[in-house]
Amino acid sequence: MKTYRIATIPGDGIGHEVMPEGMRVLEAAARRFGFTLTWDERDWSCERFHRTGQMMPENGLDEIAGHDAIYLGAVGYPGVPDHVSLWGLLIPIRRNFDQYANVRPVRLMPGVRSPLADRKPGDIDMLIVRENTEGEYSAVGGRENVGTPEERAVQQSIFTRKGVDRVLRYAFEAAGKRRSSVTSATKSNGIAITMPYWDERFAEMAAQYPGITTAQFHIDILAAHFVRNPQWFDVVVASNLFGDILSDLGPACTGTIAIAPSANINPERLHPSMFEPVHGSAPDIFGRNIANPIGQIWSGAMMLEHLGEPDAAAAIVAAIEAVLAEGPRTPDLHGSASTQEVGAAIAAAL
C-alpha cells in the first residue's frame, strides 16, 4: 500500500483544534481510497518559543526536508510579536523549500450565503496564485539614525526575473486547466519601479500563451471589483502582499474566511510543499471549540491532490460541499456546531 509521510505542525491557537479534524478526514479518505498516511508531529509554536527562545530547532527544516508534505495549522499568538513568530517558522518554510506558488482557491459553496447581494454558487470561483518567496516580504532593510529626528525604517521590495516569471508561468498553466483567463494585480501607477517591472513580465508571459485571455487592474480597483464583480475572475496572479490581501478578501466574499484553503507549492518537487488554511490562529475564539475546521480539511484535500491522490481529494471536497449544504455548521456560518461535529460529519460523508 502506498504510504505518505506527513510532517504536521499544529502551531498555535485554533491550529490545535482544526488540525485533528483535518487528520480525521484525511484518515477516512486514506481508508476509503487505499493508501496510508503516517503523521510526524512537530511542536513548533509560540509556546515552544516561550520555552526555548526559538519557534523551531536550528536544524528544524532538515528534519522535515525528506517528508512527502507538510500539513500546518496556524502560527502566531499574542505574547510573541507576530514578525518574530512568523519569520521564525512559517516564512522560513516557504522560502527555504522554494514554495513559490501559494495557490488559494476561492469558491462560493452550495448552501453558503455570500455577504454580497444576489450571488449564488458558480458566481464566485477563482484561483488566487500568490507569489510566495520574495516581493514585499523581504528581509532587506533596517532602521537608520535610530533615536534621532532623522530616524527611518527602510524595507526593500525585491522582484527578480526568475521569481516573477516562475509564478506567472504557474498562473498561466493553471488557467489553461480552468477557464483560460488570468488577471494580474498591479500598482504600477504608484509603485513605479517594481510594479512596472511586474507588468512587463506579465505582458511577456501573456505573449507566450495566446490561448489565455488576460486583464490587469491596479490593486485598489481590483479590490473593489472583487466585491462588485467577482464573476469576472478566473485565475488572479499577484505579488506576495497583494495576494495576501486578496486571499482574505475573496473568501470573505464567499461567506467566511474559515473555509479557505491554501497550498504552498514547490512545483519542481525538489522540496516538500506545505498545506495550511488561509486563516490564522484566531486567539479571539481559541479554546471554545467553535473554530470552523473546513479550511484545514480542504487544505488536506489539496495535499492529497499534490501527492497524486486526486480521487481522494475530490471526494473530500464533495464531502465538504455536502456538509456545507446541509449542516452541521460552526457559528461563523450561523450554525451552532462544534469544530469536532463538523469534522466528524465530513468524515462520515466520505
Residue among 214 and 281 whose Cβ is closer to ligand IPM? 281
Output b/e per residue, 165-189; b: 16+ Cβ within 10 A: ebbbbbbbbbbeeeeebbbbbbbbe
Q: How far is the CB of 99 from ligand NAD (least distance, A)?
A: 12
Residues 25 and 12: their CA atoms lie apart, in Å, by: 21
- Three-state secondary-structure class, residue 30: helix
Least spacing, CB of residue 313 vs ligand IPM, in Å: 21
State the binding partner of 292 from ligand NAD, ligand IPM, Mn ion, none, CB within 5 to 8 A by kind. ligand NAD
- Interface residue with ligand NAD among 10, 22, 76, 243 (CB under 6 A) is 76
What's the CA gap between 301 and 62, in Å, rounded? Answer: 25
Nine cell digits for residue 85: 513568530
- Residue from 98, 234, 244, 321 that binds ligand IPM (CB under 6 A)? 244
For the CB of residue 333, give the shortest distance to ligand IPM in the complex, in Å: 21
- Strand pairing report for 35-41 and 2-11: parallel
Q: Which segment (65-73, 137-145, 244-252, 317-325) binds Mn ion by CB under 5 A? A: 244-252
The one segment of 99-107, 116-124, 233-241, 276-284 that binds ligand NAD by CB under 6 A: 276-284
Residues 85-124 that bind ligand IPM (CB under 6 A): 86, 90
Exposure on the CB side of residue 219, measured as CA atoms within 13 A: 22
Q: Does 282 bind ligand NAD (CB under 6 A)?
A: yes
Residue given cell 527602510 in the structure block: 154
Give the number of other CB atoms < 10 A from CB of residue 220.
Answer: 10
Query: d(Cα 197, Cα 194) in Å, to the nearest integer?
Result: 5
Min. distance of Cβ 245 from ligand IPM in angstroms?
9
Closest to ligand IPM by CB, 86 vs 223, is 86
Q: Does 284 bind ligand NAD (CB under 6 A)?
A: yes
Minimum CB distance to ligand IPM, residue 86 (Å): 4
Residue 278 Cβ, how far from ligand IPM at the closest point, in Å?
Answer: 6
Radius of gyration of the chain (CA): 20
Dihedral angle sign, alpha carbons of residues 241, 246, 251, 253: positive
The CA distance from 300 to 198, in Å, is: 32
Q: Which is nearer to ligand IPM, 93 or 278 (CB)?
A: 278
Q: Is the dihedral of CA 106, 45, 17, 266 positive or negative?
A: positive
Residues that bind ligand NAD (CB under 6 A): 14, 18, 74-77, 82, 86, 90, 257-258, 276, 279-285, 291-292, 295, 332
Residues that bind Mn ion (CB under 5 A): 244
